[in-house]
Chain A
């Protein structure tokens, strides 16, 4: 073999290993960087106080993240309540009932939904969802609302997570063995009974994981929610109240970071919190998917 070819091979494989190592170290670097920046805050305050206190007075050096955590969980759970039935039933329709051309037509629709930037969803939320909640939905329930509310955030978030969840569900139903359907139909079941009793059970791990990963995706969403949720620091009492999510807090206060001591550290602690929660959720559900595929 020519020396130059051997050398190329050598250099190239070293470069490959370098790149891979870099990718694998990235999350470690993110974690370390955020821990490093939150240390000043953590040395002054107890962790339980930071997480469970609802007193957010940065100028008094009091940082309680509880109201942000509550808002984030509210918005995310509400959004799943909206998107779960939508995604599950349309995945069922597309894979079980619809003609093939319709599924083909839906693929680019899902692609486009997935590609629309967060800020455009935010614009849509401002123009359509906020007035809808303020003028129609809240009065319908006999409540008053500005529209800038947890519900508005949840609706926008639900629409944003549709392509993400729906794609995973389509994959779950696509992998369902045809013979399982045949076996159930041959026993005299209707199509819906086959789906309900056989497919939903057989695919249960995949379906739950899709929702779990959808949850973590929605939890980290920033700009679109920030634009419609109202951004008021409070423990919301209903879904028509305004809230303030954790990612929104970080994004909104970027300019003021420097002026108050430990504020900067507190925001980085918020990012760390988000990072840790989302990584844990991802690890759990990815692991479930991996286990069910390995069987």
Chain B
């Protein structure tokens, strides 16, 4: 099977060149071990700019781990041993003297469930801005309004900006978390199954947001829902047991799968 993967990887690299996409994220030979388990096996790939790249695969295949590698949240888990290199705009993020907080601000993160910070709606968005050193109240207010409008939440919350974010509905909370991520002006949005805890309407709103946002941002979306991947993906990376099996433009991957695993996965639908 390894030879199969190698050929696939090569073909994938050529397709990237053919499509002439500018890479933002270059992942090179990333390995992750946890207590002796090999969670990510020699993962190398390129993520193109201003596209929605979907990390697809059954649960437990290492998608979320790969996503957390990208902004080094893996630092939080002492059991994880990470090696290899990930370059964002050419900078290797595993470089020891890189300012990790600045790297993280290049990426907005959206988790499976919304985790609003324990403060008001307004402060949730102002938080990241203040960390960036913005102190001017007018600028902060303007940005809060701008980003809440960007996620279509402004009309629902404009009269209660000072109330606790935890009182919002779960769908509203998730959109707030998206706005909070956008406020620090990231280049990349990392989303880990962002609609899995949401009702169908809220999850459609999030999907619509993603399509609107991709002109300005590079979006990396983890999902195990095939239909969602088909609706959103420009670019697909299919993972299975810690390895990248296939990757490339969505149309090519979905309509002309090369490997048996992916063919089976597409047929069964999950």
Contacts and interface: CB of A to CB of B under 8 A. Distances in A.
Contact of A189 (B101, B115, B177): B101
A9 interface: no
Interface stretch (B70-78, B81-89, B199-207): B70-78
Given A185-B73, A188-B131, A179 B115 contact: yes
A69 B9 CA distance: 78
A187 B131 contact: yes
B105 A177 contact: no
A197 B180 contact: no
A198 B165 CA distance: 13
A284 interface: no
Contact of B78 (A99, A190, A198): A99
Interface string B10-31: 0000000000000000000000
A164 B113 CA distance: 34
A136 interface: no
Nearest to A98: B78
Contacts of A184: 117, 127
A239 B15 CA distance: 78
B76 A182 contact: yes
Interface string B156-172: 00000000000000000
Given A99-B78, A182-B109, A187 B115 contact: no
B1 interface: no
Interface residues of B, number: 27
Interface in A162-191: 177-190
A188 B109 contact: no
A190 B132 CA distance: 11
Instruction: Report, as a range, how many residues of chain A touch the other chain.
Output: 20 to 34
A262 B173 CA distance: 64
Contacts, number: 69
B181 A180 contact: no
A187 B111 contact: no
Nearest to A96: B76
B180 to A, nearest CB: 7
Contact of A186 (B102, B104, B118, B132): B104
A45 interface: no
A188 B117 contact: no
B101 A188 contact: yes
Interface string A96-140: 000110000000000000000000000000000000000000000
A144 interface: no
Contact of A187 (B68, B113, B184): B184
A177 B166 CA distance: 14
A58 to B, nearest CB: 53
